[in-house]
């Protein structure tokens, strides 16, 4: 994460024009609900998200939230995600981080490398690549021309007037070793946690990886694939050309997504799915047979 926080409950209440508490706690982290940290600021969307497992957190929640708050402070508001976005935009501060680029990294013409970027030994970057501040790239990677890595994704929140506003992205992009990134790929920074591309992942040309995605070791992503936010791809999975994966979907290890697949539900490990809504291959064959008969 590229940002740090040190803010008290009373400071937040004053900023939001809420009634100030007599007692106050201070939080020093920002986290997502899916990757919780103690002593953090976060938001939750509904009554299906318990918080008892958290400790020492300030949590924006809906006004009708009625679950046990545990050892946390709940601030009940009309629009938790929007309020969270306003608060972090006001109080979060960028961390100072020392970047490092190995002496043997090859960088082509027209590249833009931001501050605090780290690039490991033996990595080769072709022409006109943009790497945003704070990105980490491992050793022996190969990044083809026109790739854009670490700029903010399409993270929006509706304000109290029901109009979309951009959310401050706190995360960055982490890329492991021996990773290949194809020409004109875009890999967006994480909204809170980093977007992660693990070692030995191979990504073909013109692929979009949205904020908060995690692509595990050795996965193969072919040309034209689009990942929506928060997708997780298992180790050694194969994603076929021009596939589209809906947000927060999980694809198991060694799974195979056929060409042009539209994936709207989780895919099990070693499962093969194809087509719209990505039916398992056996089920798809039966469906086609039934139609043809």
Residue 107 has pLDDT above 90, yes or no: yes
**Could you report the per-residue pLDDT of 237-261, keeping only the tens digit for each?**
999 999 999 999 999 999 999 999 9
Residue 283 has pLDDT above 80, yes or no: no
Q: How many residues does the chain have?
A: 293
Tokens of 110: 């027209």
Tokens of 53: 């497992």
Tokens of 136: 């980490």
Question: pTM of this prediction?
Answer: 0.86
pLDDT at 20: 83
- To the query of whether residue 211 is one of the catalytic residues in this protein, the response is yes
74-91 residues labelled b (16+ CB within 10 A) or e (exposed): bbebebbbbbbbbbbeeb
User: Exactly one of 178, 208, 211, 216 is catalytic; which is it?
Assistant: 211
Q: Angle at Cα 25 formed by Cα 23 and Cα 31, nearest 5°?
A: 150
**Could you report the per-residue pLDDT of 17-66, keeping only the tens digit for each?**
988 887 889 999 999 898 889 999 999 999 899 999 999 999 999 999 99
**pLDDT interval class at 291 (50, 70, 90):** very low
pLDDT at 161: 85
Selection from 243, 277, 237 nearest residue 258 by Cα: 243
Round to whole Å and give the CA distance between 55 and 129. 42
Selection from 55, 83, 84 nearest residue 69 by Cα: 55
**Does residue 217 contact residue 199 with C-beta atoms inside 8 Å?**
yes
Round to whole Å and give the CA distance between 62 and 87. 16
């Amino acid at each position: 994460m590229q940002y740090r926080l040190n803010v008290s409950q009373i400071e937040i209440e004053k900023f939001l024009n809420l009634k100030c508490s007599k007692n106050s706690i201070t939080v020093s982290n920002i986290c997502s609900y899916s990757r919780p940290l103690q002593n953090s600021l976060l938001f939750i969307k509904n009554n299906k998200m318990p918080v008892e497992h958290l400790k020492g957190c300030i949590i924006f929640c809906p006004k009708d939230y009625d679950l046990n708050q545990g050892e946390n402070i709940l601030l009940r508001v009309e629009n938790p995600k929007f309020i969270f976005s306003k608060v972090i935009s006001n109080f979060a501060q960028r961390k100072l981080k020392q970047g490092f680029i190995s002496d043997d990294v090859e960088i082509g013409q027209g590249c833009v490398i931001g501050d605090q970027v780290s690039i490991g030994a033996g990595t080769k970057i072709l022409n006109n690549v943009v790497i945003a501040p704070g990105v980490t790239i491992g050793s022996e990677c190969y990044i083809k021309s026109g790739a854009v890595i670490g700029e903010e994704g399409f993270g929006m929140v509706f304000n109290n007037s029901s109009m979309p506003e951009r959310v401050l992205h706190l995360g960055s992009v982490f890329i492991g070793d021996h990773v290949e990134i194809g020409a004109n790929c875009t890999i967006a920074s994480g909204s809170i946690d980093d977007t992660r591309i693990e070692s030995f992942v191979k990504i073909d040309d013109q692929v979009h990886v949205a904020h908060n995605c995690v692509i595990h070791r050795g996965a193969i992503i072919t040309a034209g694939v689009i990942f929506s936010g928060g997708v997780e791809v298992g180790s050694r999975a194969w994603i076929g050309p021009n596939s589209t994966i809906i947000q927060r979907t999980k694809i198991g290890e060694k799974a195979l997504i056929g060409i042009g697949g539209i994936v709207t539900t989780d895919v099990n490990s070693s499962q093969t799915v194809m087509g719209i809504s990505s039916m398992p291959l056996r089920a798809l064959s039966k469906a086609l047979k039934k139609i043809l008969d």
